[in-house]
Amino acid sequence: MLNLDLLLNQISYYKYFFVFLFSIIEGPVVMTFSGFLWRNDYFNFWPLYLSLMAGDLLADVLWYGVGYFGGIKFIEKYGKFFNISEEKVLKFKNRFHNHQAKILFLSKVTMGFGFALVVLIAAGISKIPFKKYITINFLGQIIWTFILIFLGYFFGSLYLIIDKGLKIGFIIFMFLFMIFLMYGFNKYMQSRSKI
């Protein structure tokens, strides 16, 4: 028979590991929701912050590797699944020659203005030195993770003053709102861009 208390205790024991894993898949949403949970005393700040940073940076390394080792052939074959075209990647690749640091840093702290994945893959295709790539992404990650955790913290503060009967609805609303905000921003920036 399943012991629910034991299961919840085990999950709680590995919570930072789960944060790390989920931030590899969807960093911004996980960062914001984790800030909400931190405000409600489910996490301690420093282990949470470091887990989120590590997961999101690992995702950046993986996408760099896709560009570095897979190149344009990967984009031709699988780009449609990620809304990435060869044309977008090549335009960023050309821009990297003069503005590598600026493009990488701004992409990190702004979700790439809707082109974060394109920028990361284009950095790999452009063969930007990995040490430079990871250093710039790390510096941007410090800021980006901090901003999103505190955005979630703000929502967590709102949650604490809401009537008990509305709390579950608020959690669902907040989660859906953050997903809509992140993806809406990406789509908006892509539609406004000439890339």
In what helix (H) or strand (E) does residue 79 lie, and over which residues does it extend? Answer: none
CB atoms under 10 Å from CB of 65, counted, come to: 14
Angstrom CA distances, 114 to 15, 20, 66, 119, 188, stand at 30, 23, 19, 10, 7
Domain carrying residue 105: 4-192
**Averaged in consecutive runs of 10 residues, what is the pLDDT profile of the chain (195 residues)?**
58 89 92 89 94 96 96 90 85 82 87 74 93 95 94 83 72 77 65 53
Which of helix, strand or coil describes residue 83? coil
Does the predicted TM-score (pTM) go above 0.95?
A: no
Q: What is the pLDDT of residue 135?
A: 96
Domains: count for the chain: 1
Q: What is the pLDDT of residue 114?
A: 55
